[in-house]
Chains A and B, each alone.
Chain A
């Protein structure tokens, strides 16, 4: 069973069970120092170990990283003029 935040990479590979948390990469088992959240994420993983009946079973945890969603764009950002289409 995988606890992960890079959903596309894990699902492209294919695993028996995935607990997906929609967070920036680095904290797939919960926010730092938030033991209650970490415990709920691990609990969902333990539940999935018991409940999954077929491979590629994904469940998503209910947690939101922050109201500010800028981290989605900022990670590995390709800024102009470094964009590939700026080469011409």
Chain B
């Protein structure tokens, strides 16, 4: 049990989703626990220019909505959104988020494109990069590391992007 009263200190306050998912899928009969990604070496790059001159993008695990009327599933490939014309909604269907506690009806609660545009207007950042990016959630780690991440990087370099804000749901 995780403590539900804020002053109790018998457990860490924040939820362990690694523990929760392991227990949940064990209860459903899965014998092998999912191995979450883990890297001993973590890269780090300092900003190469002042933020007020930098182009900043957003990267999300939400996807462009599929054409539900025609039963067409959203493609499970990297897709990009023109920053000057973001959609009203992205699809969060099939992702691992808490449908009982909240909703994703407000784009900026998980893809803060309008907030980022405001910071560009205030010159806190140089500009919003030309394209923002959606990356599919894959159980195959290799699909992400070998296929999707290089493709996102290629598009960021092509756009002259200096920094990325990743917002996984």
Cross-chain contact A39 with B4 (CB below 8 angstroms): no
Interface size class of A (residues with CB under 8 A): 35 or more
Chain B residues numbered 1-57 whose CB sits less than 8 Å from any CB in chain A: 1-6, 13-21, 23-24, 26-28, 36-47, 51, 56
Cross-chain contact A49 with B51 (CB below 8 angstroms): yes
* CB-based nearest A residue for B4: A69
Please measure, in the bound complex, the distance between the C-alpha atom of A69 and the C-alpha atom of B21, giving whole angstroms: 19
Dominant secondary structure at the A interface = loop
Cross-chain contact A72 with B42 (CB below 8 angstroms): no
Known: A12-B36, A46-B125. A30 touches B108 (CB 8 A): yes
Please measure, in the bound complex, the distance between the C-alpha atom of A14 and the C-alpha atom of B2, giving whole angstroms: 24
A41 to chain B, nearest CB (A): 8
Please measure, in the bound complex, the distance between the C-alpha atom of A76 and the C-alpha atom of B98, giving whole angstroms: 9
A86 to chain B, nearest CB (A): 9
Please measure, in the bound complex, the distance between the C-alpha atom of A50 and the C-alpha atom of B48, giving whole angstroms: 10
Interface centre among B21, B40, B41, B110 (most CB of A within 10 A): B110
Q: Which residues of A contact B110 (CB under 8 A)?
A: 26-29
Measured CB to CB, the residues of A under 8 A from B are 1-4, 6-10, 12-16, 20, 22-35, 38-39, 41-43, 45-46, 49-50, 52-56, 65, 69-76, 78, 82-84
